[in-house]
Amino acid sequence: MFERNLLEGKIALVTGGGTGIGFSIGKRYGELGASIAICGRRENVLADAVFKFKEAGIDADSHRCDVRDPTQVSETVDHFMDRFGKIDVLVNNAAGNFVSPTEKLSPHAFDAVIGIVLHGTVYMTLELGKRWIRNGQHGVVLDIVTTYAWTGSGYVVPSAAAKAGVLALVRSLAVEWAKYGIRHVAIAPGPFPTEATRKNLFPIPEIEDRIVQRVPLKRPGRMDEIANLAAYLVSDGAEYINGSVVTIDGGEWLKGAGQFNHLENLTEDQWKMIYKISRKKE
């Protein structure tokens, strides 16, 4: 699909890059010539991901980081700057989410999602963006959002609020930082099942089945599809794309706004089952 050297010489930092969408994006970037820096909270997961990257011939490194902590974010960027000498691409992928009736959420549960998704994205973007501006370096920030960032959705309210904030950040900085040669773009995925989404968003099969049936193409997304889109958006071939969010959901949101609104049909017993399964998997 792409020339093998599409991203040659570029250094890409992917938050939450040890698993799922983040890992798939990092791997595709590496296959196209980039060196990959990943961060996350679990060192064993990061180490395993770096091992897989290197097995595939990809130059990669990792650093433990909780993106909710600005000090750890700064230390992480320092680490990768020392290791690679520069960072060209930032992918804000780290996320936290779970399904729940909003009235049952505690302040802590709400803050946990907002902290990772919104604050983490802001901290990482500012930390790297300030360095790019100070050094006169061009860069690209790719944020992973969701279609309910603009439609809203019941039962995932903390995530909807946080992702809406991230999308506003993308559009705002696309204008403000364009003069520095810094682009901001976003991807809004539909259902791309991963281990984390099955644990937190699809803990019972009925939820995933209903979401897939809402997709006009009648299937979930494949990781290679979102990884290829992510590769194009940060490449030099997309240098006139700025402030845009690209939807990749098989047409799902056009069929009905609010990805999780259908959960209003779950019974109280099903919700109890979800809570039980979620706690068991922690």
Q: Report pLDDT for 257.
A: 72
Query: What is the pLDDT at residue 259?
Result: 65
Task: Give the residue numbers annotated as catalytic, written as ranges.
Answer: 148
pLDDT band (50, 70, 90) for residue 162 = very high
Give pLDDT, residue 199.
61
Instruction: Flag whether pLDDT at 280 surpasses 70.
Output: no
What CA–CA distance (Å, rounded) separates 31 from 36?
10
* Domain residue extents for the chain: 11-279
Model pLDDT for residues 6-49, shown as the tens digit of each residue? 999 999 999 999 999 999 999 999 999 999 999 999 999 999 99
* Lowest mean per-residue pLDDT among 53-62, 83-92, 246-255: 246-255
Q: What is the dihedral of CA 84, 227, 188, 9, to 10 degrees?
A: 30
Average pLDDT over residues 156-163: 96
**Of 89-93, 145-149, 192-196, 252-256, minimum mean pLDDT range:** 192-196
93-116 pLDDT tens trace: 999 888 889 999 999 999 999 999
- CATH number assigned to the domain covering 11-279: 3.40.50.720
